[in-house]
Structure 1
Amino acid sequence: MEAIVFYAFAALAVGSALLVVGLKNTARALFLFFVTLFAMAGLFIFALADFVAITQIMVYVGGVLILMLFAFMLSNKTLLEDLQNMSGKFLALPNWQALLLSLAFCVVLVYGINEWQPITADWINDNIRQGQVIQPSDNNINQLGIKFMTQYILPFEVISIFLLMALIGAAHLSRKEEQQ
């Protein structure tokens, strides 16, 4: 059952990410980006990275994506129409530049996969021998909730104020000035 849910999250993440890149409609692409970030948080939970999953949901889904939605809603409509008309072709960059960037990224990725050596660090081996390994049955959510609401409450409030300042700045920049 876990494998089915994992592959469902993986397919959802990859499929929605491909649609984000391929759609011309910016509003739909932003909502699919929302789905992609949630699916990635689900994959982080399967990797026993509870902290990263919760941080992804709180910061990226809760903050950055909402900021992007507001910036989209407050942006200049003619600028968005120009961007959508420009991206109607197969590649927005000139074809040779986009192909060169894609091939370079693919070469680096294949080289990294071929050169990867599964060597485990000494401190990891020591923890495995001592039995200090996170098990799938361990509950870290309780501890994370306590940390977020006590020790890390100030950094999250500061981040929320910065996001609010960015939202106010986006609203100010998108406001039309009166012609005199």
Structure 2
Amino acid sequence: MTMVKALFYLMGFIAVASGLYVAASRNLVRSVFMFFVTLMALAGLYVLASADFVAITQIVVYVGGILVLIIFAFMLSGRESLAGLQQQESRFISINKLSAVLLAALFFILMLNILLKTDPDHLQWVQKAVSEKNMVKSGDATVNNLGINLMSHYLLPFEVVSILLLMALVGAAHISRKEKSL
């Protein structure tokens, strides 16, 4: 077994195990931390697939943005709502969740069927790309080119979006901390 294959299996196991822990855990703090582990393992899988830009985007957008948003929502929520969430029944399968369990089982069967019937080395579009030499090599500097374009040609839109996101964050914090008037 090569080192890349071992790292793939390790990152895949970490992503699946931490994702299952997020779904099954009753403790919100641990779920948020394990969600961080899941997102980082997915970024590691993207790096192994030579998708370095997607890996960096995964870290910046999801770990740096979405996860911080979840942490802010957790910190700004009241104790009563958090206590109510943790007091709910913790039965894994109940009649209320039957439709969700059936949908998940059907999705799993569909994905397993696709996985078993597909031969990724002989897909038509992959063979066409190989024959036309229309492939991205792992040594190509895609992130370097994106960084140069982002910081030169698209600097103004990039800064406008960052200011807009900062305004949304400040507005959300202000709305959540606003005292109720009598």
Quote how far apart the aligned CAs of 1:162 are.
4.0
Determine the C-alpha separation between the residues in 2 that align with 1:27 and 1:115.
Answer: 40
Deviates more, 1:36-45 or 1:125-134: 125-134
Which runs of no fewer than 5 residues in structure 1 stay unpaired?
none
Determine the C-alpha separation between the residues in 2 that align with 1:30 and 1:66.
Answer: 10
8 Å CA contact 1:70–1:167 kept in 2: the answer is: no
Partner of 2:104: 102
Partner of 2:159: 157
Matched, 1:6 2:8: yes
Quote how far apart the aligned CAs of 1:173 are.
3.8
Identity of aligned residues (%): 44
Partner of 1:177: 179
Instruction: Give the TM-score normalised by structure 1.
Output: 0.79
Matched, 1:119 2:119: no
Partner of 2:41: 39
User: RMSD across aligned C-alpha pairs, in angstroms?
Assistant: 2.8
**Alpha-carbon distance change, 80 to 115 in structure 1, aligned in 2, over 3 angstroms:** same
8 Å CA contact 1:12–1:39 kept in 2: the answer is: yes
**Secondary structure of the structure 1 residue equivalent to 2:137:** coil
Determine the C-alpha separation between the residues in 2 that align with 1:130 and 1:179.
Answer: 68
8 Å CA contact 1:44–1:50 kept in 2: the answer is: yes
Q: Aligned residue pairs: how many? A: 178
Deviates more, 1:100-109 or 1:50-59: 100-109
Deviations 1:51-96 (A, max 9, x none): 2111111111111111111111111221111112225332587242
Quote how far apart the aligned CAs of 1:44 are.
0.9
Partner of 2:75: 73
Determine the C-alpha separation between the residues in 2 that align with 1:172 and 1:93.
Answer: 40
The structure, 1 or 2, with the larger RCO (C-alpha pairs under 8 Å, 6+ apart) is 1
Determine the C-alpha separation between the residues in 1 that align with 2:95 and 2:46.
Answer: 33
Instruction: Give the TM-score normalised by structure 2.
Output: 0.79
Partner of 2:52: 50
Deviates more, 1:148-157 or 1:55-64: 148-157
Determine the C-alpha separation between the residues in 1 that align with 2:33 and 2:158.
Answer: 24
